Structure 1
């Protein structure tokens, strides 16, 4: 309907002449209609005067969360949408009285088609490998070579369903990987060098994707017609999801997994998709959960699972920043695809259209979890506060680091300055930062044991912290810093949060023999200890650092 279907010589299909724009209430007749008959076919395709002429009449306001195009002509010619065009968007009947398609589906009878949507590349299988029984849960990569060229295709082996093979779970942020899949923000973004306070660095994948948009876009891109990309899939080559290249996402997370392996901390890998599908049950039995450097995107089911696990006495190490930020939805029927509506507030590459803030996959309001009443401070003590991409700095220990409750964190560490080294910008505090804020949900009894300092003017306060335009200089702005925090939970569990995406990049320095690696090992060892934490006190006044 929005493209021409063709077939290659081998029978594989492809599409051409793709339409960009919205289509609503299409009608197909077996003969030419004129005048009043056209209007009648549009208003009531089953009316007696036109019924026999109508072959199909599709109502896109039905089954918005699914793949079906419902034929209301009575002829049973239902269709199927391909490559996830955007549904739950305004139609010609939109009145502005309702902002949610669930409340007025008749006003959301359009589908927005794009010529650069890609859900499933549909490539023929060229290689298959069955994971042998007993293969350890970990991150792996398939090494592919063709002549002098090589490629690494990463994948995770998770434990058998209902089993665990270690006391530590590393939660692989695959939803966030999908949101950034084939991101072109380094070469499609206006004034990127001004925003990053440095020259642009182009990876090989950037150079390739600059001329090959057929591999699909990320939620940080816009379609060829200028509208935002709200759907992203992993069922296509994802060239920036590789163990080599820019230190972001998977590459940055390998700093943590390699440190866990080097330190002898056995762990299982669980992905976001398992957490979404199975909830708290997939985490049952783990004593410690370690996040990646940037667990940004979560569904309701994922947060519910994490919250329930923590309330059962779980101990979480939040190893990054800008986590638990955007609300997303997985498709209920199609695997490997997420939806994210970039609504009001937040750091975004585009903004959802008016009246289109509710996701078609789930019917939920999209945007920041903070706007949905679940700010990350409530679960992990800190939340997104600033970002800058020129250089990283360090933390300085606070007086609260000497609190007996936090003594285990700094055991064997005499340094006051923490992380003044690292593989990501030269320090442990950089790229994106989180801070504590009681007003947003940081527990009153949380300890801020270290705080970053000496950031450049390129480290800017995030939009949701501002109510109007104002000059923001990092060296004196009270919200430009990372807070390293610790607090206990009522059920005997605890949360330790680092507050910086760059933090993991300090772990491998000097062959993992440094005080950042020592600090993290201290936390892991204590969190593995079954002795309950007993510092929880909901009545305690807020500590000085976060009051």
Structure 2
């Protein structure tokens, strides 16, 4: 007969060890079962195919007794099985028979594993030993005595289990005992166990092991983190643990991971934690950073859902050169961090500003780069790439649209970002970059906000995207487009006509709606489709305070979004946002009509092939000194020559007036589009004292950039608003 250890409670780190870890490269396997007893058995079968001389059995729910058992189980080369306190479970009994051990060691007193269970095991294995103690602290001390002389110890909180769980594979592999403490008091048993130790490793932050306790210990270092997930990743970094394969378990319940920790130790692998339904950010970061390709998932779908397990292994990035920045807007003096995927192993960076010209402000030489992989859900979680290059933006760089052009000699990629002004002048015009829309159309990583599937015959759109990923569609170059390149036409026009402006992003506007207080006028540019409640109310208040608006956009203020950090959530089915609990969908469907603010709105009228506007009311002051007559066609051509058109000013998606348009609005001109609806160009004086000029067209900016009549009209508007 071989030998078995019975641990009375599983929380520390206890599972099996494989005699021959023959894992396939880049694999994800799962060790599960219908309950935690069966999970432990399946781990045992995986690691001890031919039986074991020693087996550890622990109480399935009283984790504290077993917390320190992983190093002992590793030393004895035995798996840990689980039992109920008063019943030897059938699964465990059958596995003990299969393993045919010489000895069982029970960890914990009779309250954890009763004498009746001990007698039941005695019928199978004559030699059964118990390692107990008056409490969990003494049990840990008695286990440490069985490990032999060592000058080191690991100290964790005896009431907070995740920290002990994730350090267990390291402790087991290196034969270091795990001793338990309280946050603000070291128990007597632990003091006794530390008496002969020359150094200790404290695992957990100050909320687990307080500063006063840390200072009493001969602590060589502390490994902490903001939560259990970060502690696990910091263990891997700090101890430089081998991470070719990692074991991963839910960080919310502990039985599966406890029994798996011994197996992780035998395979010289770390332990990571996840939420059942989502991989935490810190866990993603270490997987990318350490290029972990193979995983063993501990527990069934209730512990780690199938969707989480399916994306643990990063996707090999086969794209050419690409990248993104850590934020989408900066003040001068702040540092931009560029995350670059450079499969050709080199890249350079050139910083360009996009105004009336594309001006190079700074350029690097080639530097060493590397490939960067990503998760299968990076479209919504972000890419989690390491920073490849950092640059402190000079204080004298003016506000505007910029891009960091990446080049490897063969390929190029633009990372578009905005520089803001810290102290804008009161006479400046604020230009709103439609950054929410940029991300809505971005399908890098697999999905955009236009991706959908059918569920029970109903179209279901993807609801969340992240801005922390490359965005090939937001390049500021080229003339035909509705994102950054379309907005560039308006910026170029402003500079060529000597109109000062300051740029802000929709993220900035959402986070600080009051920032509009610094400006007389707001220019909403090109395709500002995705707005939050905060933005809507911010614009409403800006108008009430006497602010002016130039709505040089089409299909604006259309979809309601909720923002959280770098995430954008849209509920196109009209459901409630998970970020805010607010109802989602279209603004106009929830009583917040965009036409109340900007006078025109999009109502799914379809794509409009660009065409000119027909003037309806040439007596308005906007037409002063233009020579334009009623019935004239204006905006005949433009730079946005989509669909083989001349790039007319009314086109792409176009907006019209409705019954919520302010009654004092004047219809200035109407698009003559024969395919799709024409845009309504309107003006009205707001009761707050300002004015609103709306063109209702995505392609208007492309025409404004080259059309002298439109130039005179918009100059008239800005001159009036400037006064």
Q: Same fold (TM over 0.5)?
A: yes
Q: 1:90 corresponds to which residue? A: none
SS at match of 1:154: strand
Unaligned residue ranges in structure 1 (runs of 5+) = 1-13, 20-25, 35-40, 42-46, 57-66, 85-109, 183-212, 345-356, 460-479, 530-547
- Residues 484-538 of structure 1 show CA distances to partners (whole Å, capped at 9, x for unaligned) of 01111112111110011111110222xxx51112211111111111xxxxxxxxx
1:490 to 681, 687, 696: 687
Change (3 A) 1:442 1:132: same
Contact 2:531/2:561 (<8 A) preserved? yes
In our comparison, the structure showing a higher alpha carbon Rg is: 2
Paired residue for 1:508, among 684, 702, 705?
705
Alpha-carbon distance between aligned partners in 1 of 2:505 and 2:34, rounded to the nearest angstrom: 44
What is the CA-CA distance between 1:70 and the residue it aligns to? Answer: 8.3
Is the 1:152–1:242 contact (alpha carbons within 8 Å) kept by the matching residues of 2?
yes
Call closer, same or farther: CA 1:322–1:70 in 2, change over 3 Å. Answer: farther
Alignment CA distance shift 1:270-1:73 (3 Å): same
Instruction: State the SS of the aligned residue for 1:485.
Output: strand
Deviation at 1:303, TM superposition (A): 0.8
Equivalent residue in structure 2 for 1:448, among 655, 659, 667:
667
Deviation at 1:310, TM superposition (A): 0.9
For 1:308, the equivalent position in structure 2 comes to 541
Taking the aligned partners of 2:451 and 2:708, their CA distance within structure 1 comes to 39
What CA RMSD, in Å, does the superposition of the two structures yield over aligned residues?
Answer: 3.8
Please point out which of 218, 223, 226 is paired with 2:448: 218
**1:397–1:450 Cα contact (<8 Å) kept:** yes
**What is the DSSP-based 3-state SS (H/G/I as helix, E as strand, rest coil) of the residue aligned with 1:505?**
helix
Task: Quote the residue 1:369 is aligned against.
Answer: 587
Deviations, residues 119-161 of structure 1 (Å, cap 9, x unaligned): 221222111111111321111111222113222221100112x
| Cα distance, 1:250–1:17 mapped onto 2, change above 3 Å | farther
**1:179-218 alignment, distance < 5 Å:** 179-182=440-443, 215-218=445-448
Change in 2 beyond 3 A, CA 1:224/1:142: farther
2:625 aligned partner: 411
Match of 1:144?
406
Q: Does 2:489 correspond to 1:255?
A: yes
Query: Take 2:606 and 2:516, find their aligned partners in 1: how far apart are those partners?
Result: 34
TM-score, structure 2 as length reference: 0.49
SS of the equivalent of 1:128 reads: strand
Could you tell me whether the CA contact under 8 Å between 1:411 and 1:522 is conserved in 2?
no
CA distance in 1, matches of 2:583, 2:483: 26
- Rounded Cα–Cα distance in structure 2 between residues aligned with 1:18 and 1:316: 57
CA contact under 8 A between 2:413 and 2:472: conserved in structure 1?
A: no
How far apart are residue 423 of structure 1 and its match?
Answer: 2.1
Aligned to 1:319, the other structure's residue is in SS state strand
Task: Tell me, yes or no, if the aligned pair for 2:529 and 2:557 is still in contact at 8 Å.
Answer: yes
CA distance in 2, matches of 1:164, 1:240: 32
Q: In the aligned structure 1, how far is the partner of 2:697 from the partner of 2:621?
A: 21
- Judged with a 3 Å threshold, the aligned counterparts in structure 2 of structure 1 residues 83 and 231 are, in CA distance, closer, same or farther, namely farther
Structure 1 pair 74/17, CA: closer, same or farther in 2 (3 Å)? closer
CA distance in 2 between partners of 1:385 and 1:18 (Å) = 49
Distance in 2 of aligned mates of 1:74 and 1:284: 56
Say which of 268, 282, 305 aligns to 2:515: 282
Which one has more relative contact order, counting CA pairs under 8 Å at least 6 apart? 1
C-alpha separation in 2, matches of 1:52 and 1:296? 61
SS at 1:450's partner residue? strand
Q: Which residue of 1 aligns with 2:599?
A: 381
Asked if residue 341 in structure 1 is aligned to residue 571 in structure 2, the reply is yes
Unaligned ranges ≥5, structure 2: 1-24, 42-60, 62-83, 90-110, 114-160, 163-227, 230-249, 259-272, 282-304, 312-375
State the alpha-carbon separation in 2 of the partners of residues 166 and 18 from structure 1. Answer: 62
Matching residue within 376, 383, 390 for 1:128: 390
Say if 1:31 and 1:83 are closer, same or farther in 2 by CA, change over 3 A: closer
Matched, 1:527 2:721: yes
> Match of 2:475, SS?
coil
**SS at 2:392's partner residue?**
coil
Conservation of the 8 A alpha-carbon contact between 1:386 and 1:481? no
Separation of aligned partners in 2, 1:28 and 1:309: 59
SS of 2:654 mapped into structure 1: strand
Structure 1 residue 117 corresponds to structure 2 residue 377: yes
Quote how far apart the aligned CAs of 1:442 are: 0.6
Deviation at 1:434, TM superposition (A): 0.6
From the superposition, tell whether residues 70 and 136 of structure 1 become closer, same or farther in structure 2 (CA, over 3 Å): same
Question: Do the aligned partners of residues 437 and 237 (structure 1) sit closer, same or farther apart at CA in structure 2, a change above 3 Å counting?
Answer: same
Alignment partners' CA distance in 1, 2:279 and 2:399: 34
How far is 1:328 from its partner?
Answer: 0.6
Q: How is 1:440-479 mapped onto 2 (pairs within 5 angstroms)?
A: 441-456=660-675, 459=676
Equivalent of residue 273 in structure 1, options 489, 507, 521? 507
Inter-partner Cα distance in structure 1 for 2:523 and 2:532: 18
Separation of aligned partners in 2, 1:28 and 1:17: 21
Residue 349 of structure 1 corresponds to which residue in structure 2?
none
Equivalent residue pairs, number: 387
Tell me the alpha carbon deviations over residues 321-344 of structure 1, each in whole angstroms, 9 at most, x when there is no partner: 11000011111xxx3210111115
* 1:195-254 CA-partner distances (Å, limit 9, x unpaired): xxxxxxxxxxxxxxxxxx6x3421011379995321111111111111235512111111
Q: Structure 2: how far apart are the matches of 1:154 and 1:18?
A: 40
Alignment of 1:151-162 (within 5 A): 151-160=413-422
Cα gap change, 1:27/1:364 in structure 2, threshold over 3 Å: closer, same or farther? farther
